[in-house]
Amino acid sequence: MGKLSLFMGLALFLSAAGFANGIGANWGTQSTHNLDPHIVVRMLRDNGIQKVKLFDADYDTLAALGRSGIEVMVGIPNDMLATLATSLKAAENWVSKNVSTHISNRNVNIRYVAVGNEPFLQTYNGSFLQTTFPALQNVQAALVRAGLNNQVRITCPQNADVYASSSDMPSGGDFRADIRQYMIQIVKFLNDNAAPFTVNIYPFISLYTDANFPVEYAFFDGNSSPITDGSATYSNMFDANYDTLVWTLQKNGFGNMPIIVGEIGWPTDGDRNANLVYAQRFNQGFMSHISGGKGTPMRPGPIDAYLFSLIDEDAKSVQPGNFERHWGIFMYDGRPKYSLNLGTTNSGIIAAKGVQYLDQKWCVMKSSAKLDDAQIAPSVSYACARADCTALGYGTSCSELDAKGNISYAFNSYYQINNQLDSACGFNGLATVVRSDPSSGTCKFNIMTRPYYGGASDWRLGYLQGPFGLALALILFMLTIQ
């Protein structure tokens, strides 16, 4: 108790004094096998990550964050905006259940509510234009009613595509013309309520979508030819993009508005520019870039940022690209992908502790199976549609595999995601289970972690594991169906 309250006291003192600017991380949970949130919270603490940004308000996640001192930004998904926009009652319920309860019962250090996630993204075709602002108003009103508005601030994370520069220089920045009126309305409201502007900045996406984008400009090594804008020079896209926002806010009368970089990072697989070398170079470069607290030419001072992301999520939509499932600085099982010094510990990032894995076995194509078997193509499509084949293809970690390797990779992914169920390694007799690791070079045939069932308290989980677990689970199941 003593130690804990001392820790909390120190954390409060530091944040009150404005020093708690340490690095944050985005903790998403769109995975087939999420880690136990207690393991993740311990990993955050072991790595000195003091802030997390969530995309929802999952009960178990928030419960695990209780009394950790870690600052939390909870999120409201876009599909809830319409409801919250039309009903103050719904906003009050949301705040009561997903903010107030966690603060008062478990001392969760909730500091922000993110209302929507990039709701004005161009690909949404304006679907959330009408609902974002009223939802923001209702959530703020609900925070006021709950007496939490001084402790918890609203914000509305936007993609950097909400602003652009007319001159290709930061000083030419302004909000995108088609959404300008909506942005001004939101920014004014945030400003009136001492709330920050949150922006997600992605040099990787610029490189991905524009073949002519100068690669070096995405990084922080000063190797690209600098851009001069008045008295400022820019040799990396992050600074220029951030300052385009600073100019945009200033031009519209909000020059002092605090800015949070809600997402910044680099993926490691699924595209030719998504690899360990580039991701390490970008993330380490970013950490070093902001570590001195010198800020950007337009905004000297510390930068408040959340890395995107903490852990890979193998169930994310690949509609934006196959790299979507590979943004983590940690793999699906909480192992670091590359060395990264966050400046928060004496070493690089360290792995999650206490992670449990399924057995050491894999599902591969039978050696007797023929490549021209008519069942191959539909089997692979079936597996890839339900599992994760984003490490296959040009420029990926498994691009060196031959045709058979490709097929095995797909079969194994499906088998692991289905918890090594025997029936998940059938594929019309084309597949078989092996005990030796088929991984080769950079291509890893992963063993999945043991599923975390959530909700269930630890003792029940404990019983369901181990040699008697299956028998007990069966008995419980039979009792349930009677």
Ligand X SMILES: *[C@@H]1O[C@H](CO)[C@@H](O)[C@H](O)[C@H]1NC(C)=O
Binding to ligand X by CB under 6 A, coded x per residue (else -) over 116-145, reads: --------xx--------------------
Residue closer to ligand X by CB (options 116, 297) is 116
Beta bridge partners of 481: none
Q: Is the dihedral of CA 160, 163, 167, 170 positive or negative?
A: negative
Give the interface segment with ligand X, choosing from 53-61, 144-152, 195-203, 246-254 (CB under 6 A).
Answer: 53-61
**324 is known as an active-site residue:** no
Could you tell me the two tokens for 109? 């250090």
Is 421 a binding residue for ligand X by CB under 6 A? The answer is no
For ligand X, the nearest residue by Cβ is 56
Any contact of residue 295 with ligand X (CB under 6 A)?
Answer: no
Cβ-based nearer residue to ligand X, 169 or 392: 392
Binds ligand X (CB under 6 A): choice among 39, 52, 57, 249: 57
Q: Which of 458, 452, 467, 371 is nearest to 419 (CA)?
A: 452
Report strand pairing: 109-115 vs 153-155.
parallel
Question: Per rule CB under 6 A, is residue 372 in the interface with ligand X?
Answer: no
Identified catalytic residue from 92, 118, 313, 324: 118
Q: Which of 94, 219, 427, 445 binds ligand X (CB under 6 A)?
A: 94
Q: For the CB of residue 141, give the shortest distance to ligand X in the complex, in Å.
A: 15
Could you say which DSSP state residue 96 is in? I
* Among residues 155, 236, 406, 412, the one that binds ligand X under rule CB under 6 A: 406
Spatial contact of 97 and 136, defined as CB atoms under 8 Å apart? no
Q: How far is the CB of 403 from ligand X (least distance, A)?
A: 4
**Binding of ligand X at residue 257 (CB under 6 A)?**
no
Q: Which one of 51-59, 346-354, 439-447, 473-481 is the stretch in contact with ligand X (CB under 6 A)?
A: 51-59
Residue whose C-alpha is closest to residue 155's, from 124, 121, 123, 111: 111
Q: Of 60-68, 89-97, 320-328, 414-422, which segment contacts ligand X by CB under 6 A?
A: 89-97
Q: Is 353 in the site for ligand X (CB under 6 A)?
A: no
Give the one residue of 7, 9, 30, 97 binding ligand X; rule: CB under 6 A.
97
Residue with tokens 């792995």: 351
Residue 335 beta carbon to ligand X: minimum distance, rounded to whole angstroms: 25
Token output for 88: 């103050």
At residue 232, φ and ψ (nearest 5 deg) are -100, 145
- 403 near ligand X (CB under 6 A): yes
Q: How far is the CB of 254 from ligand X (least distance, A)?
A: 29
Should residue 56 be labelled a site residue for ligand X when binding is judged by CB under 6 A?
A: yes
Q: Cα 173–285–279 angle (5° rounding)?
A: 95
To ligand X, the closest distance from the beta carbon of 166 in angstroms equals 25
CA distance readout (Å), 155 to 100, 291, 321: 17, 24, 27
The number of residues that bind ligand X (CB under 6 A) is 14
Chain centroid offset of residue 143 CA: 25
Smallest CA-to-CA distance from 51 within 262, 328, 348 is with 262
Q: How far is the CB of 98 from ligand X (least distance, A)?
A: 4
Among 52, 72, 85, 392, binds ligand X (CB under 6 A): 392
Identified binder of ligand X from the candidate list 66, 134, 393, 454, rule CB under 6 A:
393
Angle (nearest 5°) at CA 90 between 139 and 308: 50
Whether 263 is catalytic is yes
Q: Which residue in the list 71, 92, 216, 263 is annotated as catalytic?
A: 263
Q: Could you give the CA distance from residue 383 to residue 328 in angstroms, rounded to a whole number?
A: 23
Binding region for ligand X (CB under 6 A) out of 112-120, 350-358, 402-410, 453-461: 402-410
The stretch near ligand X (CB under 6 A) out of 34-42, 94-102, 177-185, 244-252 is 94-102
* 3-state secondary structure labels for all residues of 417-474: HCCCCHHHHCHHHCEEEECCCCCECCECCCCCECCCCCCCCHHHHHHHCCCCHHHHHH
Could you tell me which stretch among 170-178, 192-200, 214-222, 400-408 binds ligand X (CB under 6 A)? 400-408
In sequence order, the 6+-apart residues with CB closer than 8 A to the CB of 329 are 25, 265, 279, 283, 307, 309, 310, 336, 337, 338, 340, 349
Neighbours of 117 (CB within 10 A): 23
Q: Which is nearer to ligand X, 97 or 353 (CB)?
A: 97
Q: How far apart are CA 386 and CA 381, in angstroms?
A: 9
Of positions 78, 98, 241, 408, contacts ligand X by CB under 6 A: 98
| Angle at CA of residue 364, ends 360 and 368, nearest 5° | 135
In the bound state with ligand X, the residue whose beta carbon lies nearer, of 26 and 98, is: 98
- Give Dmax over CA atoms of the chain in angstroms: 77
Determine, following the binding rule CB under 6 A, whether residue 93 of this chain makes contact with ligand X.
yes
| Residues belonging to the active site | 118, 263
Q: Which residues of the chain form contacts with ligand X (CB under 6 A)?
A: 56-58, 93-94, 97-98, 124-125, 392-393, 402-403, 406
